[in-house]
Chain A
Amino acid sequence: MNLPLEPQLTAHVQRHARRLHRLACGFGCARDADDILQTLYTRWWRRMRDEPGWSPPESNGELFVCVRRVAIDIAAREQRDRARDERSPVRPLDASPEDSLQAFDRLRWILSRLPVQLGDALKASLAAGRSDDAAVARELGLTHAAFTARLFKARRAAEELASFYELLPLERANLLAELRYGGKSRSEIARQHGLSVDELAARCRGAEDALEKNRKVAS
């Protein structure tokens, strides 16, 4: 049975194209936003054709994940291109793609270390935009007040993780992020890293001192 695929896809584009475009731009892929949308809809068209009854994602969280997946592919491709350009004698003067890659890496690092609930709220809010909190709250099954509170916590956590990422070496940033938002006890983390609890506490203090020192230097 041939379903009317094109009207369904067109309606989806009318509903979510702006959101997908904003997501693509948010991942630092403004130049490739059109390509990302085209890639996504081509994949969805094929899946709709191959799996009758399947429909493209509608929720903000799913759209966020889909766009991030394509953005990761584009980032990997740009990293390969950058490595190739480094080997070549002539390098492009425009450094904006590199900046976009760094921002994208930081965003991925932060989102991967946020607690699940906070991460879902932040992703949905990033996908829907600030003007549609009520719809995002309904989508997550929360009241508007509960969503606002969760989003506030998510923002605080994301900003703190961003400071870890900016001001600390990656090993220390990972350690602090795991201690703050990993949801594990110190003994579990020490056992995971093959350290004693005292050694883990010493490393944590050293990382916090470095963070404070770097904050003062940065300010």
Chain B
Amino acid sequence: MTTRHAGRGRLVLLRGGRDARASAREDADWDTFCARIGWASAPEALSDHDERLLVDRLLGTLDRTIDPAVVRGVAPEASPRAPSAWARQVVVASTMLAVAAAIGLVVAATLSWQARAAARAVHAEPEVLATSAPRLRSIAPVEKARHAVDPPMQEPDAPKKPRKAPPAPAPPEPPGAIASVRAADTATPHDPEDDLRAPRSRAGDPAGEASSRGAAVIAAAGSSTATVPVLTDAERFSAAAPSTLAVAGPQRVLGVETLAARSPTWVPAVSEGVRATPASWSIAPAGERWFGASLPPSPAGSVLPGGIGVVAQLDLGKAIGQF
């Protein structure tokens, strides 16, 4: 092919024609030779797209195969995709942290509810056991009158045990007085009849009494039927109707009914200790790595044995390291 440039003719040779035919023949010979010696020709060469995919897959695999320390130490400098992988791990770790916090909240709420139920059982237990002496310091006159006119329940035939006559109710306070009940354990002075009603330790010391009652509290927290063996059928189905003031959970209904049947002058016990122990939560990072949810223990003045608390913590660094 000739071209003319600046008035001077130049001859430019382009490859093709015979060269192309010779090259094709050589390629055929080469392919035959390769097949002869067992060398397989590539079915198709890699394209640019395949190279890019290979690099992506390769580096993605490397991100997973190398240890996390190298990923954090080397890859962020060398790999532009390393931050995205790191961010993905952070998202997964955050999700796990949120799930762990939710589980901790549920557990703490369950324990708190059980603790409150146990606290109410502590205040209800002396009322159930009260047979001779009223354990009420004061009751509301209206409530007392309502219980007095309630019809008796149907009760099965059961032998009645000779029991002591119920004591006379406490003198009514003037109208408008606060209807409150104080637990027997917190009342002073010590009632000598408690020795006959409540189980005592072998030593008979107050500490032993407290521990035995504590055990009763724990049992009541697990199941409300823990108070049932104390009562007889006659006691359970006495003249008083079940109180409609039972507003607690299902575990408390039986106890409240029993209390209402046991004492016509019964009113729902309002415990200062229970009221003064609200559910309290805290979810806060305690450090750069530790996150936790906690339920603080009961206050010192509470009737619950102190030291009941829930603490759940999650090591965020280790959680992330798992990925």
Contact = CB atoms under 8 A, between A and B. Distances in A.
Contacts of A3: 78
A13 interface: yes
A110 B54 contact: no
Main secondary structure of the interface of B (DSSP, over half): helix
A167 interface: no
B42 A30 contact: yes
A162 B42 contact: no
Interface string B246-285: 0000000000000000000000000000000000000000
A25 B41 contact: yes
A33 to B, nearest CB: 8
Interface in B38-53: 38-43, 45-46, 51
Contacts, number: 101
Given A21-B42, A106-B38, A37 B54 contact: yes
Contacts of B40: 25-28, 30, 100, 103
B26 A130 contact: yes
Interface string B54-66: 1101110110011
Interface stretch (B69-77, B147-155, B210-218): B69-77
Contacts of B36: 158-159, 162
B33 interface: yes
A160 to B, nearest CB: 10
B79 interface: yes
A49 interface: yes
B34 interface: yes
B37 interface: yes
Nearest to B79: A6
B54 A13 contact: yes
Interface magnitude class on chain B: 20 to 34
Interface stretch (A38-46, A138-146, A168-176, A196-204): A38-46
Interface centre among B34, B73, B78 (most CB of A within 10 A): B78
If over half of A's interface residues share one DSSP class (helix, strand or loop), that class is named, otherwise mixed; here it is helix
A26 B37 contact: no
A107 B45 contact: no
Contacts of A34: 54, 57
A85 B43 CA distance: 27
Contact of A2 (B57, B62, B78): B78
Contact of A49 (B34, B39, B74): B74
Contacts of A10: 55, 59
Interface in B9-45: 26-27, 30, 33-34, 36-43, 45
A17 interface: yes
A80 to B, nearest CB: 21
B54 A28 contact: no
Count chain A CB atoms within 10 A of each CB in B42, B65, B74 and give the residue with the most: B42
Given A14-B51, A49-B66, A21 B37 contact: no
Contacts of B45: 18, 21-22
A4 interface: yes
Contact of A25 (B43, B74, B79): B43
A42 B59 CA distance: 9
Contacts of A41: 58, 62
Contact of A5 (B27, B46, B74): B74
Contacts of A45: 62, 66
Interface string A85-111: 000000000000000101111110010
A26 B54 contact: no
Nearest to A28: B40
Interface string A103-145: 1111100100000000000000010001000000000000000
Interface of A: 2-7, 9-10, 13-14, 17-18, 21-22, 25-28, 30, 34, 37-38, 41-42, 45-46, 49, 100, 102-107, 110, 126, 130, 155, 158-159, 161-162
The list of the 6 closest CB pairs from A to B, nearest first, reads A107-B38, A106-B38, A103-B38, A25-B42, A6-B78, A22-B42
15 contacts: A4-B78, A13-B54, A18-B45, A21-B45, A27-B40, A30-B42, A30-B43, A37-B58, A42-B58, A45-B62, A49-B70, A110-B38, A130-B27, A161-B37, A162-B36
Interface of B: 26-27, 30, 33-34, 36-43, 45-46, 51, 54-55, 57-59, 61-62, 65-66, 70, 73-75, 77-79
